[in-house]
Structure 1
Amino acid sequence: MSLFSLRTIQSALFAAGVLFAAAGAQAQQVLRVSAIPDEAPTELQRKFKPLGEYLEKKLAMKVEFTPVTDYAASVDGLINGKLDMVWFGGFTFVQANHLSKGKVVPLVQRVEDEKFRSVFVTTNKSINSLADLKGKTLSFGSESSTSGHLMPRSYLLAAKIDPDTDLKRISFSGAHDATVAAVAGGKVDAGALNISVWEKLNEQKKVDPNVVRVFYTTPAYFDYNWTVRSDMPDALKKKITDAFLALDSAKPEDKAILDLQRASKFIPTKAANYSNIEAAAKNAGLLK
């Protein structure tokens, strides 16, 4: 082979490498985002749209929201590189952190998530405490939900009530709004869901509080956060964090975004905040 031919091939390979690298860099200009499906997919899309548009401007990159079928898919998507950022519940974050061996990082949470709570609701006039659930039917949300299953279960256990043996039947609705629908429709005697969705359904008049009522509210615990993979470039992590922290409820355009997220503001968070949830999950046998 002539020196000319060799140099031609080397030049071609170099050019191909540059093009490949450029294509890769271009591909990374999309932030792939998702969220645990704790509400209807259409509702999740509606809530994220203004936030996604805001992030696109702040990050100078395209932001795509992809709904997932279940909680497990959100965890799998992030730790296997199909997603870049996910809105997790506390327990889902713990699962992702556990399965990835610490290769995910929670960036921000709503200030409300420092002291989150769950509510138990019913239409049954004879149910007024957790003890009254014995022999009754109860719906949780998703099995992997912090506020719709793990924490309600942990408070039942603390009250000496084992939902698997002391209740007539437990079921999983898959989402908080579906739990309320199951209770309102008489499919179950009671249900557990997060307080934020309960308050939103009441504000939107999608539930009659004179028929479906809260009979127990849990103590506070850490919950939701926005999580990314640890291998995300530090510069991008900082840009995302700064974008969330910059949202200001005093600005009308920012307040509209925050209101959809049911947040007064976002604050930094860290993995250590979810140690109590990890302990509760292990105690309930939900994390091996």
Structure 2
Amino acid sequence: MTGTTRTTPSAASPLSRRRLLLGVLAVPAVPLLSACGGGSGSGGAGGGSTRTLAISAIPDQDPELLNRLYPAVADCVAAATDLEVEYRPVTDYTAVVRAFQRGDVHLAWMGGLTGVQARELVPGATAIAQRDIDADFHSLFIANRRAGLEPFDDVSGLSSIAGSSLTFGSETSTSGRLMPQYFMEQAGITEADLAGAPGFSGSHDATIEAVASGAYDVGAVNEQVFTATQEAGEVDLSDVVVLWRSPGYADYHWLVRPDLDEEFGEGTTDELRDFLLGLDAGNAKEAEILELFGAESFIAADDAAYDQLEEVARAQGLLG
């Protein structure tokens, strides 16, 4: 792990607010922590646990931006539950899964694939909430205009990327690798059909920059991040064309360990779920943190919604 940010229920520290889906769009900095009111939780029915509840998240975007968002989440969780909460940043997707497996992280913001991997390693782990956009998430295939590729409307159109160079995001990204590779396979495209081995940029914003610069002809990227990058105007996308928008699938979610109530008191899991589901975009203070996640609200998550991803991951050798 790369460091920690610890928050007690009464702590407050400034956050530069970024109006970006998941924190990628810059706007004038304002304090976010005013969004977190006083705690109404009991710290679990056991009351007053002195243990630290650790949260983490997959590093799907610029670490500097994520290190602004998640300490604010930790502050809000602390205020809502009366627990001491600590954000533990990590360097890659696999590190989140391993930390969750070891019990070093109790609550994690996972992608669809990393959540499936973590649930396989930690039986009983449960997805408790997802954003309103996560039940029907989409990938985009984007291309540099100089590659000469034209947009298409059907998965079969992916056959046109044969002979092109391509970069995915992280190797265990759902929207930046797992599902794009699945759709490529449906179109009969394998790595052998590409111009060299595919790249792995490590994050969605890095994929966008790699395609915009011409380092790769084609990239597979999270639709949400691409849209936010367009709105931010911070990357020159004049040479980037969207080739195709994938069908929907379940993706990001908050995952909790099965021993959370044992560690922090009976009812802690329900308290965290209630906090997340209760965030209200109609409340100006709570709307700030929802905006950072690019969501109108969090909704209940169902482990079964990720069965498709589990099946695809097994077929690609990414589980077991």
TM-score tier after normalising by the smaller chain length: 0.7 to 0.9
**How far apart are residue 203 of structure 1 and its match?**
1.3
* Greater Rg by CA: 1
After superposing on structure 2, the runs of 4+ consecutive aligned residues of structure 1 that deviate more than 4 Å are none
Aligned residues: 261
Report if the CA contact (8 A) 2:49-2:83 is conserved: no
1:283 counterpart residue number = 315
Structure 2 residue aligned with 1:217: 245
RMSD after superposition = 1.4
Question: Is residue 135 of structure 1 aligned with residue 170 of structure 2?
Answer: no
Task: State the identity as a percent.
Answer: 37
Q: Is the 8 A contact 1:109 1:226 kept in 2?
A: yes
Q: Shift of the alpha carbon at 1:266?
A: 0.5
User: Do 2:57 and 2:109's aligned partners in 1 also have CA atoms closer than 8 Å?
Assistant: yes
1:98 aligns with 2:120: yes
Partner of 2:104: 82
Q: Describe the SS at the equivalent of 2:145.
A: coil
Write out per-residue CA displacement over residues 176-219 of structure 1, whole angstroms, 9 at most, x where no aligned residue. 01111111121111111101111111111123343212111100
How far residue 155 of structure 1 moved from its aligned partner, in angstroms, is: 0.6
Q: What TM-score results when the alignment is normalised by the length of structure 2? A: 0.79
SS for the counterpart of 2:133 is: helix
Instruction: Write 1 or 2 for the structure with the bigger share of helix.
Output: 1
Q: Which moved more, 1:251-260 or 1:199-208?
A: 199-208
- Give the structure 2 partner of residue 241 of structure 1: 273
Give ranges in structure 1 of 5+ residues lacking alignment.
1-24
1:274 and 2:306 are equivalent in the alignment: yes
Q: After the TM superposition, which residues 188-199 of structure 1 pair with which residues of structure 2 at under 5 Å, given as runs?
A: 188-199=216-227
Task: Give the CA deviation at 1:27.
Answer: 4.0
- C-alpha deviation, 1:50, in angstroms: 3.1
Choose the corresponding residue for 2:201, options 166, 169, 173: 173
Partner of 2:89: 67
TM-score (norm 1): 0.87
Q: Distance in 2 between matches of 1:96 and 1:114?
A: 19
Q: In the alignment, does 2:281 pair up with 1:263?
A: no
Is the Cα contact below 8 Å between 1:122 and 1:212 reproduced in 2? yes
CA deviations 1:121-179 (Å, max 9, x no partner) are 111351124222101110000011101100010011111111x2111120100100111
| Pairing partner for 2:53 from 17, 23, 31 | 31
- Residues 50, 84 of structure 2: 8 Å contact kept: no
SS of corresponding position for 2:219: strand
SS at match of 1:34: strand
